[in-house]
Amino acid sequence: MMDVLDVGLRLLAVLAAFLVLPLLVGQTEHKVMAHMQGRVGPMYAGGFHGWAQLVADGVKFAQKEDVVPAGADRRVFQLAPAVALVPYLLVLVAIPFAPGGGVGQVIDAGIFFVLAVLGVGVLGSLMGGWASANKFSLLGGLRTGAQLLAYELPMLLAAASVAMAAGTVSLTGILGAFEWWWVPWQIIGAVVFFTAGLAELQRPPFDAPVADSEIIFGAYTEYTGLRFALFLLAEYAGIVVICALTTVLFLGGWHGPYAEDLGWVWTLLKTAVLAFVVVWLRVTHPRLREDQIQRVAWTALVPLALLQIALTGVVKVVLQS
């Protein structure tokens, strides 16, 4: 009975984090962009520092009519936002936030699980683009699929480097084997993993499949109201997941001063800093063309990931000799 209760409490905590953290990232993005670009609304809506901007956005989405195009595949069109969102909830269950059981569920093959489930999220965009009966939406969905194929490989190779260093594919096992001197010689893999994660989320400067100012949100062109809001929520949830995974794999996760007592604080703090970097990149970097996005993946990130694996192998051999 106690085991069932413990699992239930862990899953409830993960669900609460899933509902709260993406909204915090969204609110932070409003504020950071408002400061950097002088945007008026997010700074003044509701009075004190624009606290009501997120509430106003939620009310706006709830009031909009849920429109399904006449020629659309209605069932697939309606299911697509959920398919895009749910994989991030499943990944969040497996991410360890604190020592001593600070995770929804310990999975022995944690790296394989999170990377496999992250790849499912692209199906939501493909479903939405195909089912919308809109050629521009279909084009956006196909671009999303091509981008996922290009950036999945460097992400997997970068994660494999950490698994080699730790001697395990368990996320909790990697944190258990973590040493601070890992950070400098795994920095290449960290950059590759984080960059590939941005591309898979279609975040700027890798947002050509969405390109809200050119092709009007790509695969999501025909979506309105709460279904469109779910796609946005999936993006913010993906930011939380990618930043948390980068923290666990490359930055020591819960390790820090007084880690036994404040492990979850260090995990959330590192994740928050990386989330700020994601927002900062959106404000400061122009969008890459589709051909440039593919070139970055195959001519830059893949060779760098292979270099990181070779470096990890050399270091492991030297340590064992």
pLDDT of residue 2: 46
Q: How far apart are CA 97 and CA 100, in angstroms?
A: 10
Q: Any idea where the domains of the chain sit in the sequence? A: 2-320
Average pLDDT of 90-116? 82
Q: Model-level pTM?
A: 0.90
pLDDT of residue 47: 66
pLDDT of 151 higher than 80: yes
pLDDT of 57 higher than 90: no
Average pLDDT of 151-156? 93
| Of 179, 186, 181, 192, residue with least CA distance to 162 | 186
| Of 93, 83, 197, 91, residue with least CA distance to 131 | 83
Q: Which residue has the higher pLDDT, 158 or 9?
A: 158
pLDDT of residue 46: 67
| Model confidence band, residue 8 (pLDDT cutoffs 50, 70, 90) | low
Look up residue 117 and give its two tokens: 């489930």
Helices (H), ranges, the chain:
2-37, 41-44, 53-63, 74-94, 110-118, 122-131, 135-166, 171-177, 182-185, 187-200, 225-250, 259-284, 290-296, 302-320
| Model confidence band, residue 162 (pLDDT cutoffs 50, 70, 90) | very high
Most distant CA pair in the chain: distance in Å?
A: 68
pLDDT of residue 5: 63
